[in-house]
Structure 1
Amino acid sequence: MNLAIFLDGGKIMKTVLQKVRGGLNTKLGFFLLTVVLFAIKSYVAYQNKFTLGVEGSIQKFLLAFNPFPAAILLIGIALYFRGRLSYWLMLLIDTIMSTWLFANILYYREFSDFLSFSIMKGSGSVSNNLGKSLMGILRPSDFLVYADVIILILLLAFHLIRIDPRYFKLRFAGIISVIAVVLFGFNLGMAESNRSGLLTRTFDSNYIVKYLGLEAYTVYDGVKTTQNNAVKAKASNSDIKPVLKFLKKNHADSNIQYKGVAKGKNVFIIHLESLQQFMINYKWDGQEVTPNINKIYNSSDTIAFDNFFNQVGQGKTADAELMLENSLFGLSEGSAMVTDGTTNTFQAAPAILDQKGYTTASFHGDVPSFWNRDNAYKSFGYQYFFSKSYFPKVKNYDAGYGIKDKLFMEDAANYVQQLPQPFYAKLITVTNHYPYILDKSNKSIKAWNTGDNTVDPYVQTAHYLDQSIGEFYNYLDKTGLRKNSMIVLYGDHYGISNNHKPAIAKILGKKKVTNYDLAMFQKVPFMIQMPGLKGGVNHTYGGEIDVLPTIENLLGIDSSKYVQFGQDLLSSNRNQIVSFRNGDFVSSKYTKYGGKTYNTTTGKELKNTTATQTSAIAKIQKYVTTELSLSDKVVNGDLLRFYKPKGFKKVDKSDYTYNLTKSLKRLKASQKSNPTSVMAKNNGQSTLSDYSTDAPELKNIDTSELVFPTVK
């Protein structure tokens, strides 16, 4: 009896398998198999390769469901074609979609965001040296996104599934396309019911991907990019009015005590690549990681800020520069310096100071096209841009994203000494940039032991960065530049992304990190030093958007007449709201991060808020949303072309050139026409002999032997 049942069961199973195989041998069957495998693969990737913050049954269902509409619609295109061609098109479309998923996995791993058309448009500006980073990002499991494609190819190659040469009726193909659209409508309806205003109010691409899928996000991003271009074409003079109204309403009066105390001083902006606030006064293996920066931070003539946050988006360093010198936010996708830096009108710090008699210069040890700086800087009003071609080449001088910091800072000093005073000089370090590449001879502290190979070298490059700052400071002291300068040091963005939570927890001495911990982990150093400045640690909550009005106040410049979204960090009536690019925020009372709200002082999550708390949080959220939205309107609509501050002359980009020969000739001529530089005051003699560095690359090279480009 049991044997008979077993045999009958075997026959049934065989029959089922035959029917399944028979179904797969049809074009529709193969199509459905391709769609299901792609959807399964996408779901697994969403769960394991991204941090989408999925919570609740609806979000979990949509995460599994959302790959189907796009897969059915796109792979279904192949059904409109005949014979074998339709099979190969299905495989091709699947491969293209898989490659897009693969690319986003790699990008997300380091930048916690998805690729956008703006990022791709600017890929030429950021692609240099990414090969080294790619090897550090790649994981063997990433290639599993192609597993379904390989399986399908093998099934066809070994004839386990046979190609159905029959014609697939066009009306059936059309019905499948309609089904895909209906399924997407269902998906969108459920998403909107769970997250109202998903496509109209959110600043975070993670939400769109977890609700609608990667393909839908890509289409949304493409539409939004097109709309932004259209907005710029349609923008008019009236569009600036709500911006001016918002800024007037939220203007914070400058601190009278500090107004103009740095007037006429040189201004140094020292960009501390990827340095985070927790590194200040931090010790590892019995050593201070940043002893030189610690000394500056704790100096009596330094105003240091311990609640200062990075506010960058996808543009990272480029966003930090935009905020620092324009008090405008970076865009929610891509980099404004790339998409708008060439064409937009700006009223940036270099132009403001240029028109007040300052020489303005930026220094960066990589190619000038990186982040479109060679064009954006002209729009900002920089007179000089000293990039890689201006500096001597020595063996092993490049660390992946430009010249190593110790070499770069010394090389920069050659041109700093020639700048007519007063000057505004920005120096951008790069060695503490992911993937934290540093040769053995430059390592003077051991790596962390978090077990995360990506994170562990960070402490070594941060220590190296600090040493380069110490050497540069010694030069400023020897030449007398420091006593006649205001020096601003800032970290541009996080160095360790939120995707490294176990390592972050170990670094912070915690078992597990919360969203509150991650929000506080966005703090970066910001300090202003000048001899005679009344210093101390300031606990106000602020961010990079606030830097420009703070500097302007110290220089005696009225920031209220410009379109600037920041508030003077020294003001007593500032609102202390830090807007993050995705719409989250930190304030002196409340912190919202990753969909959860916390008490900023205690770090405790607010699960059941009182009516008063709910109202206060909503008010902050409204401010943040409005601020980001209006800043985006200024950038996307190029609205500053319609606004003319009194006494400010619009920048004419044709006035600027960063051609090596022309720039060096102009700099040389200025030594006679405006002999106020350090070198001019030293009877035309170089002061580089005052620069001391222990850079091993220069061990057998006399500083005076470094060959800089020259002109007759």
Structure 2
Amino acid sequence: MFGHSLYKEIHHHLFLFLAMLCFWMKSYFAFLYGFHLDIENSVQSFILFITPLSSTLFFFGFSLFFTGKLHKFAVIAIDFMLTAILYANILYHRFFNDFITAPDIMQFNNFSQLSGSAKALAHPTDLLYWLDVIIIIGCAFLTQTPLSRHNKRPIASVFMVALMVFVVNLTLAEGQRTQLLSRAFDRAKLVKLLGLYNYHIYDTVINIRTSTQKAFADSSDATQIKNYVKANEVPANPEFFGKAKGKNVILISLESTQNFLINAKLHNEEVTPFLNQLAKNTFYFNNFYHNTGQGKTSDAEFLIDNSLYPLPRGAVYTTNAHNKYEAIPALLKKFGYTSVVFHGNHKSFWNRDIMYRTLGYDRFYSEKDFNVTEKNSINYGLKDKPFFQQAFPKLKNLKQPFYAKFIMLSNHFPFILDHGEASLERADTGDGVVNRYFQTARYEDEALEAFFHQLKTSGLYENSVIILYGDHYGLSDNHNKGLAKALHRDTLTRYDHYQLQKVPLFIHIPGMDGKRSKTMETVGGEIDLQPTILHLLGIQTEDNIVFGSDLFSSERESLTVLRDGSAISNQYIYANPEQTCYSKSNGDIVDLQRCTKIRERAKQDLAYSDKVIYGDLLRFLKNEDTK
């Protein structure tokens, strides 16, 4: 009797069971092969197998609230939406080696401009991720219409089983990683042990929780952080303080430019001959790291203007664009500076048009201010050479002194140039992205050389502090095999990963080129540029909330903190979340206790910086200053 009843129930819901089974298996194989998750033991293999099941039962269970054709439509709609989430994460992971967060969804206005990157990331076999959706749609027409009435018993059963599977999943996951849910920064671990869809639910809850911090913040929080920053403050170097007082500042963002390109050769040719020469004639920092998170280029901009860290999830530019900040453009207004940005992309990308006004910029020259054609643009906008050619007359006509930022584009994933524009042959690594990366880096180098020639002939060069910085990595860990071959290495280790987070930094200071300029060994990051720039202009930062320190200060600690909680000093590299301590000089693993100091500094800096942004704490300090 029970067997007959069970058979009847399964037959009655055959369409739904087929959809759930297909989606479960598809998700499992996607977790296994699409994300390359590091499975350490048999328990984690079992967890990976069951993680999609609770989500499958939970979401598809809602289709049981509908009857007849509406039930079929609900099943198809749920299958399509969940597949879209899965596939979006697969593409995102291929590029960023990370997973989508709730704040990323707020950047939906960026998505229309990502078609070039998405096309390069897509594989022909990706059609398999959508095959079950097609099959389910076909079955909807071939099977009889089920569920002519509501039946509460199977609905309750589905959600009860989903809950039971989730409890088993969470119990096993906690056994593999204690305090898993309190370690929200380790998204790879969350996806591996909780599953992609459970991770997204958890991430949404975290996003709601952090969004409420602003409402409960008060001035005592700001005072506490100001005292912490004050305790870590270092004085400016008297030799450099005010050395460029009243001078222009030209800031150039080198898109996706990693430091290994400097002095690198391909086919016996220098990849970046102009930057190589610049490293000999200006202050070149060879231990400079990016501190960016998911916001990438926008994070680098935020770091430099504010000396605050980006957020662990999403981008400040899109989630906290209406906060109060003490950014360079706003601070320089008091000294008669005009602040502008040049960028050959759409003004709303990364919410720049809104954020720049918040930071105090006077003018944003975006795509609409340039003559952009099909011939002179590619990928994300205007190519670097025509970009500088068209931007220079606008720069030259600015009232001085000015603070001008240039955001380059051509050396951006997927690193493509039009036919005949590459002056360097492709590398031969078996990875097309790596092969093209060296070509676009050369194109970027040539564009910079031409721009510097314009600056020198116009007289702006000797009247300006000129800073060039790599904004973030160009090649993620997903391209390690090809990059290892390009670097003539057998393989790249986790220690190498941290070395590859170095980006170049060049600072030209009027009157200090030549003999007085040199390679600077201090470990630093983008977080340090705001106080460095202000001190060169003779502006004190002792009353500001800054988490960086002047790169020229003889008393600064040689240290930088990465957004994932890792920290790098002149002696050690603390790797987070694996909690490993490396010797910086040779990559040997050493006693974790040697990294205790820099680990705690990283933890505290990031926590306080996040508190400033989530709580919009600078509004309180601004009010106190006004009083």
Same fold (TM over 0.5): yes
Task: Kindly provide the amino acid, as one letter, of the partner of residue 342 in structure 2.
Answer: F
Instruction: Give SS of 1:361's match.
Output: strand
The CA RMSD over aligned residues, in Å, is 2.5
Gaps of 5+ in 1: 1-17, 651-712
Shift of residue 390 of structure 1?
A: 2.0
Q: Which moved more, 1:491-500 or 1:546-555?
A: 546-555
- What is the distance in 2 between the residues matched to 1:304 and 1:649? 40
Q: Does 1:322 align with 2:302?
A: yes
Instruction: Give SS of 2:323's match.
Output: coil
For the 8 Å contact 2:561–2:602, the answer to whether it is kept is yes
Tell me the alpha carbon deviations over residues 59-93 of structure 1, each in whole angstroms, 9 at most, x when there is no partner: 33322221111111111122233345434422321
Shift of residue 524 of structure 1?
A: 0.7
- What is the distance in 2 between the residues matched to 1:148 and 1:389? 43
- The residue number in structure 2 matching 1:604 is 587
- The residue number in structure 2 matching 1:671 is none
Instruction: Give SS of 1:43's match.
Output: helix
For the 8 Å contact 1:487–1:529, the answer to whether it is kept is yes
- The residue number in structure 2 matching 1:684 is none
- What is the distance in 1 between the residues matched to 2:173 and 2:597? 25
Instruction: Give SS of 2:244's match.
Output: coil
Which of the numbers 359, 372, 392 marks the counterpart of 2:351? Answer: 372
- What is the distance in 2 between the residues matched to 1:201 and 1:249? 28
Shift of residue 28 of structure 1?
A: 4.8
- The residue number in structure 2 matching 1:709 is none
- The residue number in structure 2 matching 1:122 is 107
Tell me the alpha carbon deviations over residues 517-543 of structure 1, each in whole angstroms, 9 at most, x when there is no partner: 122111111111124323211112211
- What is the distance in 1 between the residues matched to 2:258 and 2:302? 19
Tell me the alpha carbon deviations over residues 228-282 of structure 1, each in whole angstroms, 9 at most, x when there is no partner: 3222222221221332232123223332332221212211101111111011011
Instruction: Summarize the Cα distance change of 1:441–1:579 in structure 2 as closer, same or farther, 3 Å threshold.
Output: same
Shift of residue 630 of structure 1?
A: 1.4
- What is the distance in 2 between the residues matched to 1:586 and 1:31? 52
Q: Does 1:217 align with 2:217?
A: no
Task: Kindly provide the amino acid, as one letter, of the partner of residue 616 in structure 1.
Answer: R
For the 8 Å contact 2:15–2:140, the answer to whether it is kept is no
Instruction: Summarize the Cα distance change of 1:552–1:27 in structure 2 as closer, same or farther, 3 Å threshold.
Output: farther
Shift of residue 165 of structure 1?
A: 4.2
- The residue number in structure 1 matching 2:608 is 630
- What is the distance in 2 between the residues matched to 1:586 and 1:82? 59
- The residue number in structure 2 matching 1:169 is 151
Which of the numbers 466, 479, 495 marks the counterpart of 1:487? Answer: 466
- What is the distance in 2 between the residues matched to 1:247 and 1:122? 31
Q: Does 1:577 align with 2:559?
A: yes
- The residue number in structure 1 matching 2:127 is 143
Shift of residue 95 of structure 1?
A: 2.1
Instruction: Summarize the Cα distance change of 1:153–1:382 in structure 2 as closer, same or farther, 3 Å threshold.
Output: closer
Which of the numbers 176, 192, 196 marks the counterpart of 1:194? Answer: 176
Task: Kindly provide the amino acid, as one letter, of the partner of residue 46 in structure 2.
Answer: F
Which of the numbers 236, 249, 257 marks the counterpart of 1:267? Answer: 249
Query: Which protein shows a greater Rg?
Result: 1
Q: Does 1:334 align with 2:314?
A: yes
Instruction: Summarize the Cα distance change of 1:183–1:639 in structure 2 as closer, same or farther, 3 Å threshold.
Output: same
Shift of residue 29 of structure 1?
A: 5.2
Instruction: Give SS of 1:496's match.
Output: coil
For the 8 Å contact 2:564–2:576, the answer to whether it is kept is no
Gaps of 5+ in 2: none
- What is the distance in 2 between the residues matched to 1:166 and 1:516? 61
Q: TM-score, normalised by structure 1?
A: 0.82
Instruction: Give SS of 1:385's match.
Output: strand
Which of the numbers 389, 398, 403 marks the counterpart of 1:419? Answer: 398
Q: Alignment identity in percent?
A: 38
Instruction: Summarize the Cα distance change of 1:590–1:411 in structure 2 as closer, same or farther, 3 Å threshold.
Output: same
Shift of residue 598 of structure 1?
A: 4.4
Tell me the alpha carbon deviations over residues 102-149 of structure 1, each in whole angstroms, 9 at most, x when there is no partner: 11111221122222232221221x235322222111102222222333
Tell me the alpha carbon deviations over residues 183-240 of structure 1, each in whole angstroms, 9 at most, x when there is no partner: 2233223323332332223313222211111111211222222223222222221221
Shift of residue 167 of structure 1?
A: 4.7
- The residue number in structure 2 matching 1:524 is 503
Shift of residue 32 of structure 1?
A: 4.2
- What is the distance in 1 between the residues matched to 2:148 and 2:467? 72
Number of matched pairs: 621
- What is the distance in 1 between the residues matched to 2:581 and 2:485? 22
Q: TM-score, normalised by structure 2?
A: 0.93
- What is the distance in 2 between the residues matched to 1:450 and 1:547? 35
Instruction: Give SS of 2:257's match.
Output: coil
Q: Does 1:79 align with 2:64?
A: yes
Task: Kindly provide the amino acid, as one letter, of the partner of residue 253 in structure 1.
Answer: P
For the 8 Å contact 1:102–1:143, the answer to whether it is kept is no
Tell me the alpha carbon deviations over residues 375-425 of structure 1, each in whole angstroms, 9 at most, x when there is no partner: 111111111211222223456121221211111111111111111222111
Instruction: Summarize the Cα distance change of 1:540–1:146 in structure 2 as closer, same or farther, 3 Å threshold.
Output: same
Shift of residue 444 of structure 1?
A: 1.1
Shift of residue 157 of structure 1?
A: 4.8
Shift of residue 605 of structure 1?
A: 4.8
- What is the distance in 2 between the residues matched to 1:571 and 1:404? 37
- What is the distance in 1 between the residues matched to 2:295 and 2:218? 27
Instruction: Summarize the Cα distance change of 1:454–1:614 in structure 2 as closer, same or farther, 3 Å threshold.
Output: closer
For the 8 Å contact 1:309–1:523, the answer to whether it is kept is yes
- What is the distance in 1 between the residues matched to 2:237 and 2:539? 12
For the 8 Å contact 1:516–1:603, the answer to whether it is kept is no
Task: Kindly provide the amino acid, as one letter, of the partner of residue 223 in structure 2.
Answer: K
